[in-house]
Amino acid sequence: MHTFSAIEASTPEAFYGELARQAAHLMEGERDAVANLANVSALLNMHLADINWVGFYLWSERDQELVLGPFQGKPACIRIPMGKGVCGTAAQLRAPVVVPDVLQFPGHIACDAASRSEVVVPMVQGGRLIGVLDIDSPTPGRFRDTDAEGLGKVVAAITAATEFPAR
């Protein structure tokens, strides 16, 4: 079993680079999607300050919607239609979405009333939408574009290490 200590970094780029390195190390030799996503959600929960939910929604080709995957936090919405809420918007755009105040986001889906800001990063593998990484904070303005860029490195580590069967 790997042990992980606190990440000491002077810049967001260095912090997220180390976080992506630790995620890759954690997934080393493991290809199972549920195992890897569960461990990465725990790793992110352990290292990211001022968050109240972190997890994954996986794209279901069969149902044409995002379905709740491994996460850390309060119980969450189970299904999110493409283009709905922050997660569905990021999935549709296949681009990260940073929302400083979810109360100002048209169509926001409130799973936890305490959440005030959100960042969502899509996961794409071989041109196929896999799902999204979703992180919420109770603090307005918690996330910036640098967070989305850094979390993109974590998502890249996940898609490089993991086999995602068609769903």
**pLDDT tens by residue, the chain, 167 residues:** 455 667 887 899 999 999 999 999 999 999 999 999 999 999 999 999 999 999 999 999 999 999 999 999 999 999 999 999 999 999 999 999 999 999 999 888 888 889 999 999 999 999 999 999 999 999 999 999 999 999 999 999 999 999 998 88
C-alpha–C-alpha distance, residues 97 and 87, integer Å: 8
Residue-level pLDDT at 38: 98
**3 assigned to some structural domain:** no
**45 assigned to some structural domain:** yes
**6 assigned to some structural domain:** no
For residues 28-59, b (16+ Cβ closer than 10 Å) or e, as one string? eeeeebeebbbbbbbbbbebbeebbbbbbbbb
**114 assigned to some structural domain:** yes
Which range marks the domain in which residue 62 is found?
12-161
State the total domains in the chain. 1
Residue 94: which CATH number? 3.30.450.40
Residue-level pLDDT at 166: 82
**151 assigned to some structural domain:** yes
Residue-level pLDDT at 167: 81
Residue-level pLDDT at 9: 78
